[in-house]
Amino acid sequence: MPATSLDDLYLQKLQLVLEAEEQGLDAIPQLAQMVRDTKLRDMLQTHRRQSQEHVRRLEQLIAARGRRAPKEECVSMRALIEEAQDTVAMIEDPDTIDAFVIGAQQAIEHHEIAAYGTARSWARQLGLDADVDVLQKTLDEEREADELLSTIAEGRVNERAAQSAEREVGIASGGRADQSQQREQSRGDLTGVDVKRGADMR
């Protein structure tokens, strides 16, 4: 449907955000089942239930317009999801997967925050005060989800992923630094070892 007015654009935006939310609903369970951090998994599952409510609100706003824009795929959301699925499939370390999933989910949240912010501004310009209130409520919830993801990442997930990376570096280098340090430690400890009892009996 050609957009000839801001009202047309607004309806199209609602329809696209609805489609994006529906894509997200399909993607979240796939991401959630791959994470190890329980707090992150719970957050994703809670946000999925919240997203179901967002879909319901959008459907009501669209119905209130008395007409529907042709349903189109939100290609930008599809690209974000496909990129996340392709990348996470190549990650083996569980802690690194958790860190990546947070970043991928935040990219989705930021996409939705931008879309809801635009829709709210257009609704305000069109004098649709009831729509503004609904969209603002959803926008606040999306921002809260983004902030919670940051809290989880900075609280423990990123640190564990970094520690995993350090272990990988040690493995890739043959653990030479660690092995050398262990040998030095062993030599220093020999003076306190009863050889007859064995090195394991200190």
Distance CA 189, CA 92 (A): 37
What residues contact residue 134 under an 8 Å CB cut-off, 6+ apart? Answer: 57, 60, 61
Structure tokens at 97: 């997967």
Q: Average pLDDT of 60-64?
A: 95
| pLDDT at position 58 | 97
Residue 14 burial (CB count, 10 A): 26
Q: Model confidence over 3-26: pLDDT tens digits? A: 689 999 999 999 999 999 999 999
Could you tell me which CATH number the domain at 6-172 has?
1.20.1260.10
| pLDDT at position 173 | 44
Alpha helices in the chain (DSSP H): 6-32, 38-64, 75-88, 94-125, 129-152, 158-172, 176-189
pTM (whole model) above 0.85? no
Compute the residue count for the chain: 202
pLDDT at 192 over 50: no
Q: Average pLDDT of 87-91?
A: 93
Q: Average pLDDT of 177-199?
A: 41
Mean pLDDT of the chain: 84
pLDDT at 187 over 80: no
Backbone angles phi, psi at 97, to 5 degrees: -60, -45
Task: Describe the crossing of helices 129-152 and 38-64 by its angle, rounded to 10 degrees.
Answer: 170
Largest CA distance in the chain: 93
- If 0-12 CB within 10 Å is exposed, 13-18 middle and 19+ buried, where does residue 31 land? buried
Distances (CA, A) of 120 to 10, 115, 131, 138: 9, 9, 7, 10
57 falls in which pLDDT band (50, 70, 90)? very high
